[in-house]
Amino acid sequence: MIKRFVMMSAVAACSVAFASATHTFEVSMERDAFLLDGKPFQIRCGELHFARVPRAYWRHRIQMCKAMGLNTVCAYMFWNYHEMERGKYDFSGEKDIAEFCRIAQEEGMWVLLRPGPYTCAEWEFGGLPWWLIDKGSENVRLRTRDPRYLEPAKAYLRRVAAELKDLQITHGGPILMAQDENEYGFVGDDREYIRALYDTMREAGFDVPIFTCNPVYHLTKGVIPETLKVANFPANPENAFSVLREVQPRGPLMCGEYYSAWYDAWGQRHHTKPVENMLKDLDYMLSVGGSFSIYMAHGGTSFGWWAGCNSPFVPQTSSYDYEAPISEQGRAIPKFYAIRDLMKKYMTEEELAALPEPPPPVPLQAFKSDVRGELVTPSFKMLDGNMKQPLPIEMLNVGYGTVLYTALGDTIGGGVLKARNIRDQAAVFLDKRLLGFLDRRFPERGVNVPAGAGKLQILLTHMSRYNFGAVINNSEKGLLPPVTLNGKELLGWAASQVVPPLEGKEESHIADHPLNFKRFNVNFTSTADTFLLVRGWKKGHVWVNGHPLGRFWGIGPTQTMYVPGCWLREGVNEFLVFDFGGNVPMDGLEFVDSPILDEMHPEIDIISAPKRDSAPFTPPENPTLKGEFPDAVASQEVMLDAPVKARQFAFVIDSDWPGKGVAAVAEFELLDVKGESLPHGSWKFISLSSEETVREDGAAENAIDGQISNFWHSRWSKDQAKPPHYFVIDAGSEVEVSGFRYTPRQDGRSGRVRGWRLFLGDSLTK
């Protein structure tokens, strides 16, 4: 068991707040509070990801956190950000985590470090490097003791320690604690795996306390006694701390992630969270001596290819605004001031006297440029000129970007082209003429190919690899086989990588190609921040002066892209647009001074999305199980007398707490014969009573995405749906079911399930 950690440190004289001081930091399982210099210390922390903020703005964002009344910033690190190629590490420039920590110390802030190797954070592949699956995902088991994963993970942790061990409080730095892995309880219970990471961190030089965070109902899974347990939750801190006390009877109480709202995903409504709910929860935690980290204090932007993806296929927006109290552009929203006022109630007189005002906001600008764009030819790098079947991009030694697959046959007969395993979207060309799009969301949709000779080319662009859950083991991208024409597989392929014609890059040979980029040379008289308006554009990517801004997708909810002023220059600036959707106008660009975060335009999609199929469903007379759940926030498990084999299941909600006639489910899981959650990756909704997508994101997929902070909700915005509420899911193949687990919504009572029925069978709909 943990007994006691005492950390001694003589802090460097350059720090104003901690100059010439010796600090001790203690975590004891015999005390219910952290001790800093022998006195109880509440960690008032805010999550701030340096990789989502341009380096020029790090100090400003840290100053904003301090002005909100926080005393600590929590810093995630992303393994794939620092080791983009196997064995080649980069901790320089925008990736200089040591400098970020030094700036925090100079500003009088402590640091909680979350180095990985797995992090989640709605970041591409959960922070794991793409090259882990360059031999195919079946050849490595991620987040396990598989040496093909564990050895490079340990090497990465040793490299992180080399960068940061001298910045621990034990050596005069600001790092109070470090985390091992992240929310491992969601996917596993292998303590030896966690111990291998822990031992590596200790041997490499991490001598501060190590903590482990998990959602409330997975606090004991994969946890070793040497680490401090902290709980992640979106609401109900009284319940969460009660559960934490059950598994950790003594020691500091801490929330590792308290959510300011939630992340946004393409095609779903922007997420918000009432400030009143936040204030109530934070006030409770502070009043009982608890510590916390607000996730996010400042969300920032997932620039370039770094935005993540949840299952079954929920790619996230480049904006990571998160409705955090500090906006994507670094401004204080009303939440900021409300939280600042609350923090004052719990500050010491010394802290109050030192509480700074927020720093001046980074200036903003808005204008419309009528400078016309020009078409620019990309380059192509040959990857493989003779494949029997198309390979995933990882097996072609490509991590990110766009790949052009070319069928080697000279003559293509007419018919319907399909690629049911495509990851994720592709434009299909015949002799450079666009025929249509393929999309993993609609695997049965095909593209009509006219009869006759011609060169067939498929331009593949991917969204992010999964960042959460067991499905990360199924994260390859590319044109996965089979590719069929009228049901017959096409064999013989070549693949080339598209090289964007970025400013200052040497161009390789120009090849026969079916696409162009669009370049706009825009004159700026100011280097203030701005937002590029992309409303009406279908899909693609944007770079400014070589810096990747991220993805745009006209379906929403975001209709702008954040352009940091520190990446601009007075005079001409190059904006390069990869126009995958093919409709970006050439008559100029428009820049606005505020983001558009919640505007939905499903009509602008690259493929006209059909309405969700909902087969007729009448509940059979005899359910497999039925019952009534208590009015509680805890997950509920119900087991069968004996396992049942079935392909489909239906969950029917007959009544709710507190009796408003609505339904909500945060998470629904079927359990296998071992009592573990069955994989969700191939699940498909085949019948649904209703879902709320107008006034909030209550989409049905929220009930099976592995996250308990969002939820499916029956329709309430207009024509409120009446009970019974239900969803019917096809698992994709027959599974053996021993029971199920239901998790209620965490942020309120409305819609929590009371009376319910479960049906299992091979075919439940007509």
φ/ψ of residue 699, rounded to 5:
-60, 150
pLDDT level of residue 503 (50, 70, 90 thresholds): low
In angstroms, rounded to a whole number, what is the distance separating the alpha carbons of residues 382 and 318? 29
pLDDT at 748: 82
pLDDT tens per residue, range 162-174: 999 999 999 999 9
Q: Which residues contact 242 (CB under 8 A, 6 or more apart)?
A: none
Closest CA to 458 of 486, 491, 422: 422
The pLDDT value given to residue 13: 26
CATH numeric code, 378-499 = 2.60.120.260
Task: Give strand pairing partners of 761.
Answer: 648
Within 8 A by CB and 6+ apart from 386, the residues are 408, 492, 494
Closest CA to 301 of 577, 567, 576, 695: 567
Higher-pLDDT residue of 431, 64: 64
Strand ranges for 300-378 from DSSP E: 309-310, 314-315, 367-369, 374-376
Q: Catalytic annotation on 350?
A: no
Helix axes 334-345, 275-287, angle to 10 degrees: 20
Q: What is the mean pLDDT of residues 302-310?
A: 97
Rounded to 5 degrees, φ, ψ at 79 are: -50, -45
Average of pLDDT values for 287-308? 98
d(Cα 293, Cα 24) in Å, to the nearest integer? 21
Catalytic residue among 47, 183, 323, 669: 183
Tell me what pLDDT residue 707 has: 85
Look at residue 137 in the predicted model and tell me its pLDDT.
83
Chain position carrying tokens 């040793």: 158
What's residue 21's pLDDT? 47
Mean pLDDT of 692-720: 90
pLDDT of residue 12: 30
Give the model confidence (pLDDT) of 80-122 as tens digits: 999 999 999 999 999 999 999 999 999 999 999 999 999 999 9
Which of the two residues, 255 and 634, has the higher pLDDT score? 255
The length of the chain is 766
**Which residue from 303, 198, 250 is spatially nearest to 2, judged by alpha carbons?**
250
For 225-230, which contacts have Cβ atoms below 8 Å and span 24 or more sequence positions? 225/1, 225/2, 226/2, 226/198, 227/2, 227/180, 227/194, 227/198, 228/2, 228/27, 228/177, 228/252, 228/254, 230/254, 230/255, 230/256
- Tell me, yes or no, if 183 is annotated catalytic: yes
Handedness of CA 612, 618, 624, 627 (dihedral sign): positive
Residue the block writes with tokens 């946890």: 223
Residue 17 contacts residue 265 (beta carbons within 8 Å): no
What would the mean pLDDT of 668-683 be, rounded to a whole number? 90
Cα–Cα separations (whole angstroms), residue 101 to 24, 105, 118, 741:
18, 6, 20, 41
Q: What's the mean pLDDT in 598-624?
A: 89
The confidence score (pLDDT) of residue 1 equals 36
User: What DSSP designation does 183 have?
Assistant: S
Query: Considering the chain, what percentage of its residues have pLDDT values greater than 70?
Result: 95
Average pLDDT over residues 395-411: 92
Note whether 58 and 93 are within 8 A (CB). no
The single residue of 107, 122, 226, 257 carrying the catalytic annotation is: 257
The region of weakest confidence among 21-25, 246-250, 477-481 is 21-25
Of 3-7, 63-67, 292-296, 442-446, the one with minimum mean pLDDT is 3-7
Q: State pLDDT tens for residues 175-205.
A: 999 999 999 998 999 999 999 999 999 999 9
Other C-beta atoms closer than 10 Å to the C-beta of 432 total: 12
pLDDT 10s digits, 8-25: 333 332 222 333 347 889
682 pLDDT above the threshold of 90: no
- The average pLDDT across 503-509 equals 53
Please compute the mean of the pLDDT values over residues 579-591 and round it to a whole number: 96
DSSP three-state, residue 61: helix
- pLDDT score of 413 more than 60: yes
Poorest-pLDDT segment among 358-362, 511-515, 575-579: 511-515
Residue 93: Cβ within 10 Å count = 8
Q: Is 414 helix (H, G, I), strand (E, B) or coil?
A: coil
What CATH number was assigned to the domain covering residues 40-328+330-354? 3.20.20.80
Candidates 164, 54, 150; CA nearest to 113 is 164
pTM of the model: 0.92
As a whole number, mean pLDDT of residues 324-334 equals 98
Q: Residue 737's pLDDT band (boundaries 50, 70, 90)?
A: very high
Q: What is the pLDDT of residue 7?
A: 39
Residue 237 has pLDDT above 50, yes or no: yes
Residue 226 pLDDT exceeds 90: yes
pLDDT tier, 357 (very low <50, low <70, confident <90, very high otherwise): very high
The pLDDT of residue 377 is 85
C-alpha span between 484 and 482 (Å, rounded): 6
Average confidence (pLDDT) over 513-526: 88
In 3-state terms the chain splits into helix, strand, coil percentages (rounded to 5) of 20, 35, 45
* CATH 2.60.120.260 is right for the domain spanning 526-604: yes
CA–CA distance, 253 with 289 (Å, rounded to integer): 7
Task: Tell whether the model's pLDDT for residue 633 goes beyond 90.
Answer: no
Mean pLDDT of 471-483: 95
Q: Where in the chain is the domain with CATH 2.60.120.260?
A: 378-499, 526-604
Q: Phi and psi dihedrals of 327, rounded to 5?
A: -70, 175
Quote the mean pLDDT of the chain: 93
Residue-wise over 124-145: b if at least 16 C-beta within 10 A, else e? bbbbbbbbbbbeebeebebbbe
Predicted pLDDT at 513? 56
Q: How far apart are CA 744 and CA 753, in angstroms?
A: 7
Query: Residue 102, Cα to own-chain centre: how many angstroms?
Result: 27
pLDDT band at 505 (very low <50, low <70, confident <90, very high): low
Strands 752-753 and 656-657: antiparallel
Q: Rounded mean pLDDT of 461-469?
A: 95
Taking residues 532-542, report their average pLDDT: 97
